[in-house]
Amino acid sequence: MKLIGLPNIPFIQPGDDLAELMVRAIQQMGLILTYHDIVVIAQKIVSKAEGCLVRLSEVTPSPQAIELAKITGKAAQYVEVVLWDTVAVIRARPNLLLVEHKLGFISANAGIDQSNVGTEPDMVLRLPHDPDASARSIRQRLIELTGAKPPVLIIDSHGRPWRLGTVGVVIGLSGLAPVQDLRGTADLFARKLQHTDVGFADQIAAAASLVMGQAAEGCPIVIVRGLPFTPDEQAKAADVLRPQEMDLFR
């Protein structure tokens, strides 16, 4: 398996055609995109291309945002934007606002970010409204441009309970099964596995994140080549979320 980072991706502006920029970068490297590749894209450039930018100076905080701002020490306008994409506040304390996002996952600040957004100090970036739809749209555009329709993953960096450090996780996908069910598969000693589900898409996201980096690397797209996968045109990123009735900690 190879992880191929695409260089020369320009700073993304609202309305940019990510698939076209990707194909151009692939061609500059002398590569040909195939159906057997997997395209992994950082959420940030998808959000930028879709215009998910918010200027905090134009935001009026609600009473709830003002109260949470007092608890967390975060700007009330910033907290208000977080609440736009929040179903429930899980934890609030100094320097921490943990929420359940409208997309179903638990994350700090609902994924609202300011790093690598631009030079304006009061600009923040929301996640795409529908990352699965974004992934499908990019796949469709890729087939128009190249004839190939590889699976597309849109990923973000999330923290994890009980462990330090963020890792890449999938928040939008199209074209592959995100979870591998290995129950019934024999181990080395012919003992059948009983409880083994593998977070396949999240493993890809974590691996691609190593190539993308987290700071000034400027590599928001990675091509995964040579990794077998199960195609699934009906799959969605929510398939990786544990149902609440099976969640022992909420």
The 10s digit of each residue's pLDDT in 40-62 is 999 999 999 999 999 999 999 99
Is residue 181 predicted with pLDDT exceeding 90?
A: no
Check whether residue 40 and residue 131 sit in a common domain: yes
Structure tokens at 132: 């699965």
Mean pLDDT of 74-87: 97
d(CA 65, CA 83): 7
Check whether residue 97 and residue 137 sit in a common domain: no
Residue 248: count other Cβ atoms within 10 Å of its Cβ: 5
Q: What is the pTM of this model?
A: 0.92
Check whether residue 181 and residue 228 sit in a common domain: yes
Q: What is the Cα gyration radius of the chain?
A: 19
- Give me the domain span that covers residue 87: 54-124
In the three-class reduction of DSSP (H, G, I as helix; E, B as strand; rest coil), residue 207 is classed as helix
Instruction: State the pLDDT at residue 167.
Output: 93
The domain boundary, picked from 70, 102, 124, lies at 124
Name residue 123's amino acid: M
Residues 6+ apart with CB under 8 A from 45: 9, 12, 18, 220, 221
What is the average pLDDT score of the chain? 91
Binned at pLDDT 50, 70 and 90, residue 113 comes out as confident
Mean pLDDT of 184-211: 78
d(CA 2, CA 225): 5
Could you give the number of structural domains in the chain?
Answer: 2
Check whether residue 29 and residue 137 sit in a common domain: yes
Residue 22 zone, left/alpha/beta (φ > 0; ψ -120 to 50; rest): alpha
* Beta strands 86-93 and 231-232, pairing class: unpaired
Check whether residue 25 and residue 103 sit in a common domain: no
Partner residues linked to 224 by β-bridges = 3, 38
The domain boundary, picked from 106, 124, 142, lies at 124
Check whether residue 116 and residue 209 sit in a common domain: no
Is residue 214 predicted with pLDDT exceeding 60?
A: yes
Mean pLDDT of 123-146: 97
Binned at pLDDT 50, 70 and 90, residue 104 comes out as very high
Binned at pLDDT 50, 70 and 90, residue 192 comes out as low
Check whether residue 175 and residue 232 sit in a common domain: yes
Residue 38: count other Cβ atoms within 10 Å of its Cβ: 23
Binned at pLDDT 50, 70 and 90, residue 102 comes out as very high
Residues 6+ apart with CB under 8 A from 88: 99, 100
d(CA 156, CA 140): 22
Q: Does some domain include residue 187? A: yes
What are 5-27's pLDDT values in tens digits? 998 899 999 999 999 999 999 99
Contact, 118 vs 104, CB < 8 A? no
Check whether residue 46 and residue 89 sit in a common domain: no
